[in-house]
Amino acid sequence: MRGIRKSFPGVKALKGVDLTLQSGEVLALLGENGAGKSTLIKVLGGAHQPDDGTIEIDGHTANVATPQASQTSGIGIIYQEFNLVPFLTVRENIFLGREPGRFSFIPKRDESAKAKALFERIGVDVPIEAECRQLSVAQQQIVEIAKTLAQNARIIVMDEPSAALSPRETKGLFEVIEELKSHGIGIIYISHRLDEIFEVADRVTILRDGEHIDTRPIADLTREKMIELMVGRSLEKEFPGRDATLGQARFEVANLQHGSQVRGVSFDIRAGEVLGLTGLVGAGRTETARLLFGADRPEKGVIRLDGKPLKIKSPRDAIRQGICLLTEDRKSHGLVLGQTARENFGLPNLGQFAPLGFIRQREESREFLRYVDQIQIKIADPEQITGTLSGGNQQKVVLAKWLQRNAEVIIFDEPPRGIDVGAKYEIYQLINQLATDGKAILMISSELPEVLGMSDRILVMNEGRITGQVTDVMNATQEAIMRLATQREPIAA
């Protein structure tokens, strides 16, 4: 890709970007939210037409004017949100849109043989007649890869492929990538998880503000240098420091129970404390958060705030009593993407802004703009549609609406998911400030460096139980936490 330029009204998204991908390599494409990564990939995939620039494959100009033309040129793109039809089988999804003709019979036997050959090539066994809704996230990822291979893709783009995978599943993905490389397939790998870039990438291309900043072999980069190139400045620390002054226990949970997902969970959070909660995928962390927020009802258990038992039967009850939740999937559960940022900010605060049933939009905007300035939300206007904001700014809109509620207990479920390193640092600073203000913070995360870097104390879950507690966080290791995360019975750290 040479000299790719693309502008939208008021925004120069790409300013003459170059990108070179070699056969049989993994090229990591990095940059903050808004750097131009998604726009560049959509140009490659035929979803956007560039204003200027050329795309060449094997030395010949490629026609990628449409997504179909891009596929014909041997380009396959696997987006973070899978494009699978859940009620169709694996085989049907792989060959969807490539049936022989309108009035022809679908050659199921041939499709089955081709599908089996594809999975053998990848080195993973997936039941081809299972409906995709029955598969794990990791298996769905493999089906997406098989779809691109069925289209004879020689260039595969993977956008945040490990975002919803466990460490074990991520390792399996890397093995599949190595197999693809051995067949000469070039892979563009996009991820905010810098640790895995050093495991999987051969070279790194970094974008910033729509410009190509640098391309280097992975061996020539350190984590610190990578961050500096991405954000345009040196971050002294990846996790901001804080002098924690902890008060009395503010939030107490005793013997919380919900089937086999949450089994006898008990803990407390002190005033000014950031309590980390971690564990492997399926450990029961998000299920615990849903119980605390009233999204699900516990079979038994007691929840107290400042010594007072709470009756929580719904999220509305939790909000009224000072508990808020920044959900893991902010796009599905934390925001209404088609509404404006102001409207999202006002939704849990309508009692204040619409006491008589009519929304006082001027007051709502004034209060929202106060948070735009306070927590530095990058937004053109309060009436900007929320879905057009970057991931980090969407997260800040969610946080703003809860700050307006003056919540005392704030639950962050995977706060950095899909957010670049610069925006992460700002979110971490906000978490620290909330703790300094005396709030009780529960931070759920699967990223162990984040848990160790941000928590005053760490709880580890496995199979619905708390299997360990780490109090000496300064001297704790990722290995020690993983040991607790794989234990079936509670043990001491």
What per-residue confidence (pLDDT) applies to 492?
Answer: 46
CATH class of 249-485: alpha beta
pLDDT of the residue at 323:
95
Please tell me the number of Cα atoms within 13 Å of 157 on its side-chain side: 23
Domain 2-231 identical in fold to domain 249-485: yes
Q: Which helix (H) or strand (E) holds 479?
A: helix 478-485
pLDDT, tens digit (0-9, with 9 covering 90-100), for 229-263: 887 766 567 788 888 788 899 999 999 999 989 99
Residue 10 confidence (pLDDT) above 80:
no
Q: What share of the chain is helix, strand, coil (3-state, %, to 5)?
A: 35, 25, 40
Predicted model pTM: 0.65
Contacts of 188 (CB under 8 A, 6+ apart): 19, 21, 27, 29, 41, 155, 156, 157, 158
Task: Write down how long the chain is.
Answer: 493
| CATH architecture of the region 2-231 | 3-Layer(aba) Sandwich (3.40)
Q: What is the pLDDT of residues 397-413, one digit of tens each?
A: 988 998 898 889 999 98
Q: Per-residue pLDDT averaged across 309-313, rounded?
A: 94
Give residue 248's identity as a one-letter amino acid code. Answer: Q
Burial (CB count <10 Å: 0-12, 13-18, 19+), residue 69: middle
The tens digit of pLDDT for each residue in 117-131 reads 888 887 778 899 999
- Burial per residue of 241-277, b for 16 or more beta-carbon CB atoms within 10 angstroms, e otherwise: ebeeeeeebbbbbeebbbeebbbebebbbbbbbbbbb
Each domain of the chain, given as residue ranges in start order, spans: 2-231, 249-485
Residue type, 458: I
